[in-house]
Structure 1
Amino acid sequence: MKLAQPDAKMLEEVGQLAEVRGRSLWADARARFFRNKAALAGLVVLILIFIFAMFGGLIAQYERDFVDFSLMGANAYRGVPSIETGHYFGVDIDGRDLYARTVQGTRISLLVGIVGALVAVFVGTLYGATAGYVGGRVDNIMMRTVDVLMSIPFMFVLILMLVIFGRSILMLFIGIGLISWLDMARIARGQTLTIKNKEFVEAAVATGVKPLTIILRHVVPNLLGIVIVYATLLVPQMIIFESFISYLGLGVQEPNTSLGALMSLGTKQMNNGTLWMLFYPLFFFLITLFAFFFVGDGLRDALDPKDR
């Protein structure tokens, strides 16, 4: 009996099916992310912001903390934005080049937001996943500790740390990150209570895999979607916290600056007809916030196992 030879269409369908089955989780998530136009636009904006923060100072014609007013011509008395004078964003009330200060402020605000969010996500995820997986008395003690810490005013603790240990960017990183992990711990613990009853976790337990290995290899990767979304929302929140601390004079110190400090100075000069002092820092702050939001939403859709 002669078997029917497969035609070209059948071979193409088999090849496509093999390609789909052979595609990894990350490859599938990457394809889904790049189909999301809003998330892709947010990613492009974030890349441009990072390029501006890292390399924008290369085209600055003035140092951020010194301006020669004799080079500004007719606009010297107001310091308005001008390409001819080299002050692309104008100057602030003290005569410092606002473009160079915006570059530095964007860089420091991104560092505070990203480092603070990474510390919060790392500590909170491991803490919450451990509490949820172990359960019992250990879970009760760990989460009651979180409840006690959450009852302490966040800003009070952060300000106290900066006063005791000194006002530095490093202490700002540590203070914001180590305090803001509490919400992440509660989220990770709640998700872990659901995940630990799944079949793949029970199979790992039955084969004798150690609890720590199960947490790191099976529980935490399945928290990735919610963790990434929370992290992208946490970055602008960290920037807002830093802005408030800098407004009180306890955050980033002169001659350094941040977007929050620049917006604070710009707000104080709004009645003097110098809106550019507020506009440019506020513009970079808003587009950074919205870009993180769109990227986080796109990553959530790409990594959500229920949506695949």
Structure 2
Amino acid sequence: MATQTAEADLGQQPVKGRSLWADARTRFFRNKAAVAGLVALILICLFAFFGEFLAQYERAYVDFSLMGRNAVNGVPSIETGHYFGTDESGRDLYARTVQGTRISLLVGLVGAGVAVIVGTLYGAIAGYMGGKTDNIMMRTVDILMSVPYMFVLILMLVIFGRSITMLFIGIGLISWLDMSRIARGQTLSIKNKEFVEAAVATGVRPFTIILRHIVPNLAGLVIVYSTLLVPQMIITESFISFLGLGVQEPSTSLGALISAGAGQMRYGVLWQLLYPLFFFVVTLFAFFFVGDGLRDALDPKDR
């Protein structure tokens, strides 16, 4: 009798449920590639923002004794303090790689942030309003997407000056178009839900509904897209810097370092290309793996 009572008590114990984010976190950490990408991304961020404390030389310091002889005397060495060697001007490549990685990450994060914020709000407004407003806003997006964005970015840098701030703004403002289309499509499926209809019935203003009910329900999609958008921003910045229109001296980025290193290959100075290229490739793959892991973890069809 006591055993039956104990079994009945055990059967009546409440079962703890799992939230959406807890379930997504569990699924994400089961993905080995995503976890490896996250670890690599954390290490790269630590290198970019704290690696300068290990540098023996300032990034703008020029060792004139190594100019023209860096292929022999400027090789990577722990004893001399030039961990990654020196560039063609006798500057410490380690310190410049730290700065280049930091600037490339900032360009990717800030550019993706601008694109996600502008694109999400624009697409959510267009999808919720519908009708002529939606038609006008999305036809505007179609027209803008027909213009080569790289040409627009180069034109902006030539007209308004080549600076990091202009690079942030330019990359972000021309990369929100795809996000707006994605956000609009999701908004069309959300705006007819019961919680939105309840907010409309209680007299909540449309813009408040968009901010409080529509945009929060796009959070999963926005997070996934932003992690996949950051490497695209880094590639764009690197290409612009490779052309000489991006970050200007004495500052640098991974694209500028790769461009300078490619020009030194004919002199046998391979380390000037390999070190920046290594951090560039690892950063891109880390973001792609993390983005794929988040997409799988937040996809309701895979549960």
Is the TM-score greater than 0.5? yes
Following TM superposition, by how much is the alpha carbon of 1:121 offset from its aligned partner in structure 2, in angstroms? Answer: 0.4
How far apart in 2 are the matches of 1:71 and 1:176? Answer: 37
Q: Which is worse superposed, 143-152 or 127-136?
A: 143-152
Aligned to 2:276: 281
Return closer, same or farther for 1:113/1:37 CA change in 2, 3 Å cut-off.
Answer: same
How far apart in 2 are the matches of 1:71 and 1:146? Answer: 52
Q: Which amino acid aligns with 1:150?
A: M
Q: Deviations over 1:208-262 (max 9, x none)?
A: 4332233223322222232222211211111111112212222100000000000
Q: Which is worse superposed, 44-53 or 210-219?
A: 210-219
How far apart in 1 are the matches of 2:219 and 2:128? Answer: 16
1:133 corresponds, among 128, 137, 149, to: 128
Q: Which amino acid aligns with 1:162?
A: L
Return closer, same or farther for 1:290/1:183 CA change in 2, 3 Å cut-off.
Answer: same
- Number of equivalent positions: 302
Aligned to 1:6: 6
Aligned to 2:209: 214
8 Å contact 1:39–1:298 — kept in the other structure?
yes
Which ranges of structure 1 fall in alignment gaps of 5 or more residues?
none
Following TM superposition, by how much is the alpha carbon of 1:69 offset from its aligned partner in structure 2, in angstroms? Answer: 6.2
8 Å contact 2:70–2:87 — kept in the other structure?
no
Following TM superposition, by how much is the alpha carbon of 1:273 offset from its aligned partner in structure 2, in angstroms? Answer: 1.3
8 Å contact 2:66–2:73 — kept in the other structure?
no
8 Å contact 2:71–2:269 — kept in the other structure?
no
Return closer, same or farther for 1:3/1:133 CA change in 2, 3 Å cut-off.
Answer: farther
How far apart in 1 are the matches of 2:20 and 2:33? Answer: 22
Q: Deviations over 1:16-46 (max 9, x none)?
A: x2x22xx433333323322322222211111
Following TM superposition, by how much is the alpha carbon of 1:202 offset from its aligned partner in structure 2, in angstroms? Answer: 3.2
Return closer, same or farther for 1:76/1:148 CA change in 2, 3 Å cut-off.
Answer: closer
Aligned to 2:94: 99
1:40 corresponds, among 35, 51, 73, to: 35
How far apart in 2 are the matches of 1:6 and 1:213? Answer: 52
1:117 corresponds, among 112, 117, 141, to: 112
Aligned: 1:242 with 2:237:
yes
Following TM superposition, by how much is the alpha carbon of 1:145 offset from its aligned partner in structure 2, in angstroms? Answer: 1.1
TM-score scaled by length of structure 1: 0.89
Aligned to 1:51: 46
Aligned to 2:25: 30
Aligned to 1:168: 163
8 Å contact 1:105–1:259 — kept in the other structure?
yes
Return closer, same or farther for 1:296/1:8 CA change in 2, 3 Å cut-off.
Answer: farther
8 Å contact 1:172–1:251 — kept in the other structure?
yes
Following TM superposition, by how much is the alpha carbon of 1:99 offset from its aligned partner in structure 2, in angstroms? Answer: 0.6
8 Å contact 2:28–2:296 — kept in the other structure?
yes
Following TM superposition, by how much is the alpha carbon of 1:105 offset from its aligned partner in structure 2, in angstroms? Answer: 0.1
Structure 1 residues 140-151: aligned runs within 5 Å: 140-151=135-146
Q: Secondary structure at the match of 2:238?
A: helix
How far apart in 1 are the matches of 2:186 and 2:222? Answer: 10
Q: Which amino acid aligns with 1:154?
A: Y
Q: Secondary structure at the match of 2:103?
A: helix
8 Å contact 1:42–1:291 — kept in the other structure?
yes
8 Å contact 1:224–1:303 — kept in the other structure?
no
8 Å contact 1:90–1:276 — kept in the other structure?
yes
Q: Secondary structure at the match of 1:7?
A: helix
8 Å contact 1:71–1:85 — kept in the other structure?
no
8 Å contact 2:71–2:267 — kept in the other structure?
no
Return closer, same or farther for 1:187/1:281 CA change in 2, 3 Å cut-off.
Answer: same
Following TM superposition, by how much is the alpha carbon of 1:3 offset from its aligned partner in structure 2, in angstroms? Answer: 11
Which ranges of structure 2 fall in alignment gaps of 5 or more residues?
none
